[in-house]
Structure formats: structure tokens, C-alpha cells
Structure 1
Amino acid sequence: MRLAGIFSASTVLLLLLLGASPSCHGATPSHNITDILAAHPNFTEFSAALSSTGAGAEIDRHTPITVLAIDNGVMAQLKAQKLQPKDLEHVIYLHALLDYFDATKLGSIQGGFAHATSLYQAVGKAQGGEGIVNITVFPGGRVAFALSGPSNALPAAFYQQSVKELPNDIAVLQVSAPIWSPAPVAAAPAPPPDTAPRLADLLSKNGCGGFSGLLAATADAATTFERSAGGVAGLTVFCPGDKAVADFNSTFKHLSADGQVALLLYHGVAAHYSAQSLKAINGDVSTLATDGSKGSKYNLTVRADGDTVKLSSASPTAAKVTKTVVDKALLAVYLIDAVLLPRELFNGSTTHTPAPASSPAQAPPPAPASSPASPPVPASSPPHAPTPALAPVVAPATPPTPRRRPAPSPEDTPADSPDADSQTPADQKNNGARDTATWSLATAVAAAVPVVVLLL
């Protein structure tokens, strides 16, 4: 009986432990969303909203999970809606998906479309299917997140970059705008036609004619600006003045076609930033050139220096906002005093085009060839280039002078002959032949003397 009681108690304890474990959500989570976002100052407002709504605690209990984070500037727009706490909770819970989507998985979605269950539906707060989020991959690689349903046919939030990835555990992705809920958040009314002139006309009439001309000549960039201007999140444009564009024009022409498009898109942000919210950013914002699916950040640093807003890029000097051209509805246009240079194109340099071929160190030029038909180089001169081997010109080998002959007396000694080194090769050859003949005659005479004596 005692053993049965122990076994029964152990079984109950084991069942309690299993029931308390988070295995119903997959593997035990090893992440903390607050700690992850703490390393990124531009997400402090979003992190605070996760904590205040309880979404952060739910995210830490679930795995795998994907968090769609929005930066401080976008959060400022959301707070400007003055949502009730319940409605804010609704929106924030939609930004957590109960599946793992990193940059690689987004780019490999079959058919370019998928859907995921949001945390809003998983915790039982949603009605029907309103907590389902559609993921759409557009031609060119852009990825959009939107609520499922006909009221959200147009995508509201574009993927910008990956913030943190722990494979099969948690992925934190930055998106361009909130994923609006159709119930608590009403879509902003479209401005009347007369208050929303075409962007090109607006720029041309306010000191940005040069920039407007570049946009008009680059169809892809112009289309992206116009589309963003009519989007639900709005558009912010940093327009370089005409003088700045004129000074930069020669460099712009040397960029590749893709580089030109990227540079123009770098001057736009897919969200409306009022003059006040612009000063509150104090960090990096994604631009229209940002394409997380291709690993292209193209972030722009925005900081307030007193009442002046400065934009830092690859240029050694930050550009300054000199005038607010328009700031109403969902469009903000600011005049700036310099062209913004994406770090991905300029790497800290003010020019993108490679230096002329004569500037960098080059391979040394080939050594000049020796003059043709030149006379043989004397042996004492260092050779400049390999030449065909020539037989050396030397005097014929001279047999040694017989040592048996008596040394001639001084008076019989002939005068010194010219130095052999100073003689020409022909003279040396003649002298050698003469010495050889003399030696041969003397040898013959010496051999004949004993014969004559014997005969006598």
C-alpha cells in the first residue's frame, strides 16, 4: 500500500509538472523580447507598448514567434491617434505572429503568399478570423504584412530589415507601419484632390526642381514615391535644393542605373513624420531604398540639434533641414541643403565613381626593349635583356714556351709588344699563329741535329 501511495503521488507530481510546462507552444522559449529590444534605442516606444499591454509577457511564453517591430517615429504616429488602452492592445497584439519568419524564409515563401496566426487571435481576443495576417511577396522582393479580409486589400506594413534572429525560436523584424485593425482604427480619410497635388509638381514649385527632374527621369523611383504618397502610412520626403543637386549632378551620372534609383529612394521614408515627430526620432530610420529581403539597409540617421534637424549619411557633413515645404495629411516634404549619400554606395566617400585608371597604383610598365641591330655588348657591360648566346672571340690556345731554351740576353730581347688587351681580335689571332709557327720550326730543328751528328 505504501509503495502504491508513493507511486500515485509521483504520478500526480509528474502530471503537474507536465501541465505547467510550455510544451504546448513548442520548445521551451529562451528569449526575452524586452532584452532584445533594449539593444536598439529606436524601438523604446514599441518595447514600452509591449510591456503596458501585456504582449511582451505573452511573446516570452511562445515559441516559435515572429515580432513585427515599429520604430519610435511610427509609434509617435500611432500614439497621435489617442487610442483607448483596449484598442492599443488590439493593435500591438497583431504584431506578434505564431510562426518563425526570418529574412530567408520570407524570401522563399511558396507562391509569394502565406498567412499566419497573430497573438491577438491566439489568446482569444479576436472575433472570427480578424487576427489572421497575410504575408505577400511582391515582384522585386518587397514583402508586405496586412490583416486578412477585404477591408485590408492594400498592404499596410512593409518588411524593412531583420533586427534579431534566433533560429526556430524568435525573429524580430522591422516593418514600416502599424498593422492596423479595422475595428478600433479607422483609416485616415483621403485628402481632397485640390489639397493633394502630384508630388512632382509640389517639388518643382518649392525649390526642388532639380530633384524632381531626376525623379521624372528615373521611372522606378518616381513610381515608388507616388505610391508611397498615397499609402496608408504616408510619406516623408527630404528634398535637396536645386544648388545641391546641380553640384552633385556629375557624380549622379556616373552611378549605375540601380545606384541612381537607390540614391533617389534614400531621400524618402514610407511614413509621415511631422516636424515635431521628426525631432523626436534621434536615431536611424529606414528609407524607401531599404530592402530587407536583399540585405540592403539604406538607413538614414536623424537627429535634432536644438531646433535644427540634421540628417547623417555617408557625407562627412550632415545635411540640414532648412525649410518645411509641406506638412499635412499624410505627406511631409522638407527642403535640405545637401544630397544624401547612402553608405551602401559611397562608403564614407563623397564620390562613388572609381578613380581614373591613372590614379591608382598600376602594374609597372614593361622594360624598354634594347635597340634592334645594336652591336654586341662588351662583356664588362651589364646586360639589359637576354641575348642569343654568342661564341666568345678569343685568341687560339698558344702552346707554352719551352723552358729548355736558354733565356735570351737583354740585348737580344725584342721590344715589348703592344698590350694584348689593347689589340684587336684580328691582331691577336695573327700573333698567335706566328708564335705557333715559330715553336714548330724550333722543335723540328732540335730534332734534326742529333740525326746529322750521327750521320757524320
Structure 2
Amino acid sequence: MGRGAPPPPVSPRLALGAALVLLAVAMLPDPAAGVNVTAVLAAFPNFADFARLLASTPVAGELAGRSSLTLLAVPNANLPQLPSAFAAAAGADIVDVLRYHVLLEYLSPSDLARLPASGKLVTTLFQTTGRAPSDLGAVNLTAGVNSTVVVRSPAPSPGSSSNATVLGAVTAVPYNLSVLAVGGLIVPSGFDLAASESRPPPPVNITRVLADARGFNVAASMLQASGVAGEFEADEHGAGITVFVPTDDAFASLPATDRLQSLPAERKAIVLRFHVLHSYYPLGSLESIVNPVQPTLATEYTEAGRFTLNITRVNGSIAIDTGVVQASITRTVFDQNPVAVFAVSKVLLPKEMFSRSDADSTDMAPPSVAMAPDATGNEQTPPTRLSSPPDLHGEDINSSATLATTKGAVWWCIGLMYLQLHLLLSLV
């Protein structure tokens, strides 16, 4: 073929085939699309209590990055009527019990109808923690009388309610998430929530932890003087707490214009509560957190959406952004479920109380901080309980599906343009 010679004509059939291949690719599901489980459950008020349990623990974040799951959800009426029946569980019990309700396999009602006579052993999220010996992190699905399906531990503990009947299908996001209703909490072998309730662990003295760790004299003094240390200890039960503690150097680097130490005692207490999440997050969970906007204990004193922290990864480190300052976690001070304490490089100043001008934000010197006007006077309102996270207030549950649909639409357009172009060329 000489230089400048036109390329050989493209067969219309070849062009049509190529376009159809592109369209077929566009129709394939996105394998990386995750599902917001708490948002899915938000459409079903009968499971609101179970959804809040998930949202108040690291489990909801762990599920957001996974697909092909089956969630065994417990209706409100089938959960223990007294929160202490599971909130007082020692250590990681309640979190691991919730993980035990997440099957790492997509099971539809038709799959349950085809269970073998010997039953089916299915791995749960609890097995991935490494705390389950042998296959005790799995559940056994067996066919019962009248076409019922029973979920039980492979080796139930004496006296524990370690089995439940599947009540029916709740909803499904095909091949990503199947939600099945079960008649009660399913307890892994070796767990005894009732015993844990009668023997609650002693609270962790966070002030003593900081004194032993050294380098946190200012934070320890503020905790002791404010009286909020007792609040932190009271909140350790159930989902636990995560505390971000500024080092003495972090306090020393604050410019005098921030007037933190000049605040009234009740507003200092709000700043201290702003450093605490009402869930236990070990370092690994913080690194993989999916919903970056997290309520703090200070949120309880106002309303949902206020006094929140934005937790992300920046250059391989965990960054905590308040809207005024961005701090990083420098080390783990204490990590024993249900309490995690991390040192942070800066004092976390809430944007609801402080502001910073762009002119003062430089990399060469500590930025100047000034008090913002107090727009509302409700920071001191006594809390009832931590407000439900945004997941339970109508968040779009199809965000990942929307992204996949957008990708598909783009591929459709490309395929159609490709088809039209080559059909036109074939007619020339």
C-alpha cells in the first residue's frame, strides 16, 4: 500500500459488531459498585432500630466497600426491648454480633429454597476479623419444617439464643445486597450477651491514660477541670468511643488570638466533646472509613449536621478536617475495645465556634484564629441521644448505581456514534 493511500473500507457488519460489543460492555454491572446498607434500610421503618445499631458501629462503614452480601436484619419488635441487653456487651461483642449477621454471599429467596438437606455453611463478616476460631465465624442455614429456613451457629453455646428463623425477604439490590428478615439476634459460639450485661467492664479512665502516655498534660488538665471525662466514660459502653487528643505541642502552637483558654467553661466542654466520636474506631477502620462526615459528642448538644468532623486519607495519612483546621493522627495512644485514643497534630476547632480568614492561612506560620459569632444559643441543650447519621435521613441509596448508569450512558453514546459513522462511510 503506497503512502497516502486511503485505508481499506470498513465492513458495515464489522462496524455493527463493534458497536454492539461496546453496547454490551456498557450494560455490564459495575463490579466495584458498593451499597449503602443503612440507607437501604432507611426505607423500612420496621428495621430502624437495627439500622441505627449498624450506623452506630464500624460495621456500616465496613459494608459500604463490599458487594455480593446478604444482611440478616432483625425487625424492631424482635430486638431485645431493653437496650442494655446488647449495649452493655463487653468488649467487641455487640459489634461482632452485628458482623455475624452479614453473610459474604448473595442469597435470594430462591437460593434458600434450594438448600441441600445437610444445610449450607456460609461465611460471615465476623470470620474476617480473625477472632473466630475454626469455622465458627460462619452460620449454618438449614431447611426447617413448612419450608422455613433456620440460621444457627455451627457450634451453639449452652444457654445462648444462637439461632433464628428467616421470616422472609425485605429487599434486594440484585447481586450486590440481599436483605432477609430474621426472628432475632444470632449469637456466635462463645458469646453470651446476658452474661456481659450482668458484668459490664469497668470504664477506661481516659485522664489516667493520657497521664501515663505523657505529652498530653494540657488535654488531661482540661478534661479533669471540665468534668466531661465522666461523660466520656459513660459513653464507652455499647458502640464505644474514639478520642482525638491534641498533644501539648499542638496546644502550644495555637496563636493567642484563638482565645481557647479564655472560653467559658461550658464552651470549652463543647470543644472537648468535639474531639470524640460516639463509636469505637481502631486505626484500620479509620483508614477505610467510607462516610467521611462523622458526628461527634458535641453533635448531641445541638442537632444533626453540626459539629461534625470530616475524616479522609491525605498522602497516606488520616486527615481530620473541621472546616477551620486540618489535623493528622500522629500515633495511637490507647486501643482496647471499646475505647480508642489517638494523638492529633492540632487542636480541633469547630467552625461553629471559630473562623479563619484566608489571609491568615499560610504554610509558613500558624494561621490566626478568631472567635466566630455565636449564631445560636442551643449548644448547651441537654442531649437525648446521638442523632441518627445522614444515612438514615433519606440519603440517595443508589449513588453507586447512578455512577454506573452514567458510565453506561456514555458508552451507549460512543457506540451509537461509532455505528453511525461507519454506516455513513460504507455508503460513500
TM range (shorter): 0.3 to 0.5
The alignment's TM-score, normalised by the length of structure 2, stands at: 0.44
Q: Which has the higher contact order (CA 8 A, sep 6+)?
A: 2
Question: Rg bigger for which structure?
Answer: 1
The alignment's TM-score, normalised by the length of structure 1, stands at: 0.41
